[in-house]
Amino acid sequence: MSLPLLNNLVKHKDRITELETENVITWCSGCGNFGILNAVMHALAIEEVGVKDAVLCFDVGCNGNASHNINAYTIHGLHGRVLSLAAGAKIANPDKKVIAFAGDGATFSEGVNHLVHSVRNNFPFVFIFHNNENYGLTTGQPSSTTKCGAKMNSAPEGVTAAPLNPLQFVLSLGPSFVARTYSGNITHMTETIQAAMNHKGFAFVEVLQACPTYNRETPDEWYAERVRDVKDLEDYDNTDIWAARRIVEDLDEKFYMGVLYKNEMLADFMSLQPNREGRKPLVDEVEPMSIDGMY
Amino acid sequence: MNRLRLKIVGASGTGLLSTGDILTNALSDLGFYAVSDREFPSLIKGGHSSYSLNLSPDPVYALSSGADIMIALDKNGMETYKDELKDGGILVHAYERFGGIKALMEEFESRGVEVVSAPGRKTVAELGGNNLMVNVLLVGMVWKLLGYDYGLVEQAIKEKFASKPKLLEMDLIVLKHGFDLVETKVDFPVPEGNTVRRFINGNRAITLGAIHAGCRAYYAYPMSPASSVLTYMAELQPKTKMIVKQAEDEITAAQLVIGSMYMGTRAMTATSGGGFDLMTESVSLVGMIETPFVAVIAQRPGPATGLPTWTGQGDYQMAKYSGHGEYARLVMAVSNAQDSFELIQHAFNYAEVYQIPVIVLTEKQIAESLWTVDDFEEGAIPIQRGLVTGAELESIESNDRYRITEDGVSKRWIPGSSSAYYFANGDEHLEDGTLTEDAEPSKQMIAKRIRKADTLRDALPEPDLYGEASADISFIGWGSSRNVMMDTIAKFKAEGKSVNYLHYSYLFPLKTDVLEQFMKDNKNVHLIEGNYTGQFGQDIEARGHKFAGKLLKWNGRPIYVEEVSEYINQNL
């Protein structure tokens, strides 16, 4: 852990404690979700986002069971739909930090259309994509990111369809922020989530997530050997989308982490609403409106 | 009832709608009460369409079938709709290949129809205009037939073509020429007082009602006959400063509404039955997390794509049973422009106070029919939000959010307005939203949410009774049935026969006090509904009542005054 981050954590330790609940955590031992939840708490604490300042939106899946494991306003919606739910929340009150969480099943199967249009619209919130390459909560069925040939529940002879490349897919949509991190490295996750929180636009953060129970193809150690920090890559320009597309192509040997791509010139959804310029959030505008002149 | 029935017929894309609009706008300035509707197939060009307009010096709510004057824009229109023109009526057309319509003209002649015609294209060409101006020629002819002030139709044309000044000049020449071609043949005097009224359709009225109620975000996916709400919301955006967003599908639209409502603003969506099918899982989420939700279903006949541009009342039970699991909800239904404006405001109040999904049913014939209305009354329905505000935000605690209460309603506050955070959990939960799968708290929480239905039922208004308390023949219905029944009651009253009607704007949960009295007071009670199975009637039958008969219609067409009259005469 870097010294500045450590100092920051010490400085904000009370905030971190405030975020912790006593509710029972129901993940398997060794699950990547523990680390992700901690990193989220660290990032919120360091960024000094208080309980009144944020809304956390959870999809259905193992990650969604965190919805009551953090002392915050949370909403735990339907499977596959969290991006639209979070967009609705953010539009209504852009003053709040909105962070959405969903797994690979929700993001790349049940609700892939919402991902496409969240990127297109550049809705200004953070999306933490938990990629553990399977449906954990329903006991280990393959997802669209499961490796070909993996023997899974519902595919006992091995998965036949080729996996999707999540970041290649997102980059093809013309995003404004794409990052990758790894559930075995809380420091890196914290810093990446902080960077996403400070981005003005749709911030897509893939977390390569260990699933010790069902993902035997790419366990924690498998990732640990393969992850690299993009900062160590000489001359890497994270405003060059083709550079990003080249390094995310590899899903076998080298997984580059960090902010892989950002385009700060891309206007976010809210700043493209000329009628909303200089106005209070929609939540503060509910009052009778005269319809004079509207017939 | 004294009414004049105009019907414009022709292929889609021949300017039928704009012809109807011009006449309607000109006529609305004369102080008549009016109702209009259009029939058209689900395509852009070709196919048969019609635009019906009924005028009366007295209030008029529903369309009468048939026509006194038919304006035919083409030969196909004449052929398709010829039987709807009354014997002795007037046919106005500008078809010039008279050889091709010889048989048709002979048929009209034998029925005593007076044909008023001009060779349209030839006439317009001689004046220097183009083929599209034939409709303007027809408008001029019709206006003269009716004998109304030329200045009004001239003004209507000027407004319609304001954006095309070059063409306008020629249009006015053509209009005047048409006007001068014919003689006045209709004696339908302008009402005294000359009150100018608004002419507005149901979807526009719903849009205005929502805006007036403080709705700040509108999300939708296009689907007939709900699409025009999206069009109107978008058009009015510069005035309302709302967020109006076309979503990638209906699921998204519903989720955007939930997210925005959860956050504490007012948002809504509108769709038709198929789109609402996609929203139903989201409705179930709303039932669970007790977030307000307002959706309008503009009904058209299903199943599947069904009859996309036609009307019906086939989705009541779908709305009532939509979404898995058991939870409280409100299903209500509008009838016309006036109550569309009012009921959508109530929908927001009920949704917020009871933290439930509210489903507002409209119908194609309500969504697109135009009615004359006086200006809507503003401020008559105060906004009720049911939110914790002010000092109480300091004292509430997380457990208040889903507190088990006697009436089922717990406190709700805007996320971020208090340090008492809560989990809006789609999983079963404890009072602060913490997930639970334990038997006892689950049992209590499920019961709490369902108890809200009883609390809501107590708060809802009783159905409206039209006509006397007791009558020779009685009807119960909802939605557009009110329009046809109000015209029917007036018609039979004039004939000295008593008809009454019990109208439900709030269908579910069912109010029963007035119903029970109505069933005691009346012995010849019939159901009137625009579907095959008598869906709402089943709720009344479930209380042990029997209908003497059922007037049901499911072919996509409205129930006309004449049909109800015939039914009454058979059952009286």
Pick among B255, B372, B389 to test the A interface (most A CBs inside 10 A): B255
Is B415 in Cβ contact with A295 (below 8 Å)? no
A77 closest CB neighbour out of B211, B236, B426: B426
| pLDDT at residue number B415 | 98
For residue B46, the cross-strand partners are B12
Percentage with pLDDT > 70 across chain B:
99
Is A276 in Cβ contact with B200 (below 8 Å)? no
Pick among B423, B425, B432 to test the A interface (most A CBs inside 10 A): B423
Pick among B231, B260, B412, B428 to test the A interface (most A CBs inside 10 A): B260
- Residue B191: pLDDT above 80? yes
- Residue B359: pLDDT above 90? yes
Tokens 């089943």 locate to B538
Question: Is the ipTM value over 0.85, yes or no?
Answer: yes
B424 closest CB neighbour out of A75, A81, A91: A75
| pLDDT at residue number B194 | 62
DSSP conformation letters of B397-416: -GGGTT---SSS---B--TT
Pick among B348, B435, B436 to test the A interface (most A CBs inside 10 A): B435
Q: What are phi and psi of A97, to 5 degrees?
A: -75, 130
B264/chain A closest Cα distance in angstroms: 5
Is A289 in Cβ contact with B434 (below 8 Å)? no
Helices B150-160 & B165-181 angle (0-180, nearest 10): 150
CB-CB neighbors (< 8 A) of B386 in chain A: none
CA distance B222 to B275: 9
pLDDT tens column, B531-560: 999 999 999 999 999 999 999 999 999 999
CA distance B189 to A266: 62
| pLDDT at residue number A217 | 87
Percentage with pLDDT > 90 across chain B:
85
A230/chain B closest Cα distance in angstroms: 34
Closest A-chain CA to B378: A290
A88 closest CB neighbour out of B260, B417, B424: B260
Averaged over A8-26, what is the pLDDT? Answer: 94
- Long-range pairs for B529-533: beta carbons < 8 A, 24 or more residues apart: B529/B313, B529/B477, B529/B478, B529/B481, B530/B311, B530/B312, B530/B313, B530/B314, B530/B363, B530/B479, B530/B480, B530/B481, B530/B554, B530/B558, B530/B559, B531/B312, B531/B313, B531/B314, B531/B316, B532/B314
pLDDT tens column, B251-305: 999 999 999 999 999 999 999 999 999 999 999 999 999 999 999 999 999 999 9
Averaged over B501-530, what is the pLDDT? Answer: 98
Is B236 in Cβ contact with A91 (below 8 Å)? no
| pLDDT at residue number B1 | 58
Pick among B201, B218, B263 to test the A interface (most A CBs inside 10 A): B263
pLDDT averaged over every residue in chain A = 96
| pLDDT at residue number A147 | 94
Closest B-chain CA to A287: B214
Per the CB < 8 A criterion, the answer to whether A107 and A141 are in contact is no
Contact B216/A at CB under 8 A:
yes
The pLDDT-based confidence of B40 (bands split at 50, 70, 90) is confident
Chain pair A-B, CB pairs under 8 angstroms? 195
The pLDDT-based confidence of B15 (bands split at 50, 70, 90) is confident
Closest A-chain CA to B341: A291
Per residue, the 3-state secondary structure of B224-241, as one string, reads CCCHHHHHHHHHHHHHHC
| pLDDT at residue number B45 | 65
The pLDDT-based confidence of B47 (bands split at 50, 70, 90) is confident
pLDDT tens column, B405-434: 999 999 999 999 999 999 999 999 999 999
| pLDDT at residue number B42 | 72
- Residue B507: pLDDT above 80? yes
Is A295 in Cβ contact with B435 (below 8 Å)? no
Closest A-chain CA to B250: A84
Is A276 in Cβ contact with B385 (below 8 Å)? no
Is B252 in Cβ contact with A117 (below 8 Å)? yes
Averaged over B472-501, what is the pLDDT? Answer: 96
pLDDT tens column, A54-108: 999 999 999 999 999 999 999 999 999 999 999 999 999 999 999 999 999 999 9
Closest A-chain CA to B288: A77
Averaged over B4-27, what is the pLDDT? Answer: 87
pLDDT tens column, A268-279: 999 999 999 999
* Encoded tokens for B163: 């954006």
CB-CB neighbors (< 8 A) of B292 in chain A: none
DSSP conformation letters of A100-121: EEEEHHIIIIITHHHHHHHHHH
Averaged over B368-379, what is the pLDDT? Answer: 93
Is B416 in Cβ contact with A96 (below 8 Å)? yes
Contact B422/A at CB under 8 A:
yes
CB-CB neighbors (< 8 A) of A102 in chain B: none
pLDDT averaged over every residue in chain B = 95
Tokens 């002419």 locate to B199
Percentage with pLDDT > 90 across chain A:
97
B466/chain A closest Cα distance in angstroms: 29
Closest B-chain CA to A70: B423
Closest A-chain CA to B434: A68
Question: Picking from B89-98, B344-353, B438-447, which range would have the lowest pLDDT averaged per residue?
Answer: B89-98
CB-CB neighbors (< 8 A) of A75 in chain B: 259, 262, 289, 423-425
Is B424 in Cβ contact with A74 (below 8 Å)? yes
| pLDDT at residue number B46 | 65
| pLDDT at residue number B217 | 98
Beta strands in A157-198 (DSSP E): 177-182
| pLDDT at residue number B276 | 98
Question: Picking from A2-11, A118-127, B234-243, B332-341, which range would have the lowest pLDDT averaged per residue?
Answer: A2-11
Is B260 in Cβ contact with A68 (below 8 Å)? no
- Residue B166: pLDDT above 90? no
- Residue B44: pLDDT above 80? no
A74 closest CB neighbour out of B214, B255, B423: B423
| pLDDT at residue number B30 | 86
pLDDT tens column, B66-124: 999 999 998 988 999 999 999 999 999 999 888 889 999 999 999 999 999 999 999 99
Beta strands in chain A (DSSP E): 54-58, 73-76, 97-103, 126-131, 134-135, 141-142, 177-182, 203-208, 227-229, 255-262
- Residue A112: pLDDT above 80? yes
Is B423 in Cβ contact with A67 (below 8 Å)? yes
Closest A-chain CA to B263: A89
- Residue B14: pLDDT above 90? no
- Residue A213: pLDDT above 80? yes
Within the 234-253 window of chain B, which residues sit less than 8 Å (CB to CB) from chain A? 236-243, 245, 247-249, 251-252
A282 closest CB neighbour out of B216, B379, B382: B216
Averaged over A33-40, what is the pLDDT? Answer: 97
Buried b (16+ CB within 10 A) or exposed e, A249-281: eebeeebbbbbbbbbeebebbbeebeebeeeeb
Close Cβ partners of B83 (under 8 Å, ≥ 6 residues apart): none
| pLDDT at residue number B318 | 98
Task: Say which residue, B13 or B456, is predicted with more confidence.
Answer: B456
Within the 428-457 window of chain B, which residues sit less than 8 Å (CB to CB) from chain A? 429, 433-435
B569, exposed or middle or buried, with CB in 10 Å at 0-12, 13-18, 19+? exposed
A6/chain B closest Cα distance in angstroms: 28
Closest B-chain CA to A278: B241
Is B422 in Cβ contact with A73 (below 8 Å)? yes
| pLDDT at residue number B185 | 93
Contact B388/A at CB under 8 A:
no
